Structure 1
Amino acid sequence: MKTVYVSDLDGTLLGDNAILSSFSKKILYELLDQGLHFTVASARSVVSMQVMLKGLNLHLPIIEFNGAFISDLDSGRHEIINSICPSVVESIYKLILEFGCVPFVSSFNGTEDCAYYKDVINDGMRWYLNDRLTSKDRRWRAIADLTHSFHEQVVCLTVIAHAQQLLELQSAIIERHGTSTETHLMENQYSPGWYWLTIHDRKATKDQAIRTLVENYELQESEIVVFGDQINDIKMFKIANHAIAVANADAELKRYATLVIGSNTEDSVVKYIHQDWSNRCALKSDFDIR
Structure 2
Amino acid sequence: MSWLTAPGHLLVCDLDGTLLRSDTSLSDAARDGLNRLVAAGVALTVASARSTEAMRPLLPGVDVRLPVIEHNGAYISDLRTGEHLVTNALDPAVADKAVELLGDPIVTSWDGRRDRVHFGPDLNPGAGWFIGEKRRYRDPRLTESADLRAVAARERVVMLCSYVPDEQAPAVAETVQAAVGDGARVWAALNSYSPGWSEVVVQSPLATKGAAILELRQRLDLDGEITVCGDHVNDLPMFAVADRRIAPGNARPAVRAAASVVTGTNDDDGVVTYLADQLAISRRAAGE
**Taking structure 2 as the reference length, what is the TM-score of the superposition?**
0.92
1:111 offset after TM fit, Å?
Answer: 2.0
User: Contact conserved, 1:114 with 1:139, CA < 8 A, in 2?
Assistant: yes
Cα deviations across residues 65-87 of structure 1 (Å, max 9, x unaligned)? 00001111111111100000001
Cα deviations across residues 178-213 of structure 1 (Å, max 9, x unaligned)? 312122321211121111111110000010000001
| Counterparts of 2:246 and 2:34, CA distance in 1 | 18
Task: State which of 240, 264, 268 in structure 2 corresponds to 1:262.
Answer: 264
1:122 offset after TM fit, Å?
Answer: 1.5
1:165 offset after TM fit, Å?
Answer: 2.4
Whichever residue aligns with residue 197 of structure 1, its letter is V
Do the aligned partners of residues 208 and 280 (structure 1) sit closer, same or farther apart at CA in structure 2, a change above 3 Å counting? Answer: farther
Cα deviations across residues 88-146 of structure 1 (Å, max 9, x unaligned)? 0011111113xxxx101000122211000113241111121111112211110111211
| Counterparts of 1:144 and 1:120, CA distance in 2 | 10
2:106 match: 104
Q: Equivalences for 1:130-145 in 2 at 5 Å?
A: 130-145=132-147
Which is worse superposed, 262-271 or 116-125?
A: 116-125
Indicate the percent of aligned positions where both proteins have the same amino acid. Answer: 33
Cα deviations across residues 165-185 of structure 1 (Å, max 9, x unaligned)? 221221112212231212232
Whichever residue aligns with residue 123 of structure 1, its letter is P
User: Contact conserved, 1:12 with 1:269, CA < 8 A, in 2?
Assistant: yes
| Counterparts of 1:107 and 1:123, CA distance in 2 | 22
2:44 match: 38
| Counterparts of 1:123 and 1:165, CA distance in 2 | 15
User: Contact conserved, 2:99 with 2:148, CA < 8 A, in 1?
Assistant: no
Task: State which of 18, 25, 30 in structure 2 corresponds to 1:24.
Answer: 30
Q: Secondary structure at the match of 1:132?
A: helix
Whichever residue aligns with residue 90 of structure 1, its letter is D
User: Contact conserved, 1:184 with 1:232, CA < 8 A, in 2?
Assistant: no
User: Contact conserved, 1:245 with 1:257, CA < 8 A, in 2?
Assistant: yes
User: Contact conserved, 2:121 with 2:146, CA < 8 A, in 1?
Assistant: no
Task: State which of 157, 162, 173 in structure 2 corresponds to 1:159.
Answer: 162
Which runs of structure 1 show a deviation greater than 6 angstroms over 4 or more consecutive aligned residues?
Answer: none
Do the aligned partners of residues 234 and 95 (structure 1) sit closer, same or farther apart at CA in structure 2, a change above 3 Å counting? Answer: same
Task: State which of 208, 213, 221 in structure 1 corresponds to 2:211.
Answer: 208
Task: State which of 98, 111, 124 in structure 1 corresponds to 2:126.
Answer: 124
1:32 offset after TM fit, Å?
Answer: 1.4
1:28 offset after TM fit, Å?
Answer: 1.4
Task: State which of 248, 253, 256 in structure 1 corresponds to 2:255.
Answer: 253
Q: Equivalences for 1:1-290 in 2 at 5 Å?
A: 1-2=6-7, 3-97=9-103, 102-150=104-152, 151-220=154-223, 222-280=224-282
User: Contact conserved, 1:182 with 1:205, CA < 8 A, in 2?
Assistant: no
| Counterparts of 2:186 and 2:47, CA distance in 1 | 16
Q: Secondary structure at the match of 2:80?
A: coil
| Counterparts of 1:236 and 1:128, CA distance in 2 | 24
Which is worse superposed, 272-281 or 197-206?
A: 272-281
Q: Mind listing any 5+ residue stretches in structure 2 that lack a counterpart?
A: 1-5
| Counterparts of 2:249 and 2:284, CA distance in 1 | 28
| Counterparts of 2:85 and 2:18, CA distance in 1 | 25
Q: Secondary structure at the match of 1:272?
A: helix
| Counterparts of 1:33 and 1:148, CA distance in 2 | 47
Cα deviations across residues 40-79 of structure 1 (Å, max 9, x unaligned)? 1111111000111132222211111000011111111111
Do the aligned partners of residues 155 and 173 (structure 1) sit closer, same or farther apart at CA in structure 2, a change above 3 Å counting? Answer: same
**Taking structure 1 as the reference length, what is the TM-score of the superposition?**
0.92
User: Contact conserved, 1:62 with 1:71, CA < 8 A, in 2?
Assistant: yes
User: Contact conserved, 1:24 with 1:267, CA < 8 A, in 2?
Assistant: yes
